[in-house]
């Protein structure tokens, strides 16, 4: 079984990571930890550095638990939601874990929601956590 965490650090991301770790330990699943960034002018150098620090935390977290995993930063010019859904299809992911950050209605209309996109478009089960 292959599972995936759309991981972007922070408190909510860490909860999604923990849930995926626990699920992987129960099912002996392989975990794909993915941080998706659009790339180009939309990313600041400090965002890229922070994303790598967050992924390093995720790597250590999974290693310490003895979980088989792959952790990497994806930059393909897609929105994070599109990237996560596409990655899941390309890698035969059976289950996706995503964190949900609370946003106002206006923020959702303007910025959209990565988790919402993944929940609606993924070909497999999606578990969200807030």
Q: How many domains does the chain have?
A: 1
- b/e burial code for range 60-74 (CB count within 10 A of at least 16 → b): ebbeeeebebebebb
Look up the domain containing 118 and give its range: 2-129
d(CA 24, CA 96): 12
Cβ-based neighbours of 52, under 8 Å, separated by 6 or more? 73
Q: How many CB atoms lie within 10 A of CB 114?
A: 22
**CATH number of the domain bearing residue 62:** 3.40.50.620
% of the chain surpassing 70 pLDDT: 90
Q: What is the DSSP letter of 13?
A: H
Distance CA 9, CA 16 (A): 10
**In angstroms, rounded to a whole number, what is the distance separating the alpha carbons of residues 122 and 83?**
11
Burial of 19 (0-12, 13-18, 19+ CB in 10 A): middle
pTM of the model: 0.89
Strands (E), the chain: 2-6, 30-37, 69-75, 95-99, 125-129
The three-class DSSP label of residue 21 is: helix
The answer to whether 83 and 51 have CB atoms below 8 angstroms apart is no
| pLDDT value of position 107 | 54
List, for residues 101-122, the tens digit of each pLDDT value. 766 665 555 445 888 899 999 9
Residues 27-57 have pLDDT tens digits of: 999 999 999 987 777 778 888 889 999 999 9
């Amino acid at each position: 079984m292959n599972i995936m965490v759309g991981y972007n650090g922070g408190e909510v991301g860490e909860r999604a990571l923990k849930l995926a770790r626990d699920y992987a330990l129960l099912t002996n699943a392989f975990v794909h930890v993915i941080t998706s960034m659009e790339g180009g002018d939309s990313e600041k150098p400090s965002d890229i550095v922070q994303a790598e620090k967050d992924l390093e935390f995720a790597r250590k977290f999974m290693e310490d638990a003895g979980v088989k995993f792959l952790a990497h930063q994806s930059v393909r010019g897609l929105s994070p939601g599109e990237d996560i859904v596409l990655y899941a299809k390309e890698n035969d992911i059976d289950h996706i874990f995503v964190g949900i950050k609370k946003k106002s209605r206006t923020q959702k209309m303007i910025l959209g929601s990565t988790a919402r996109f993944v929940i609606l478009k993924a070909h497999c089960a999606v578990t969200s956590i807030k």
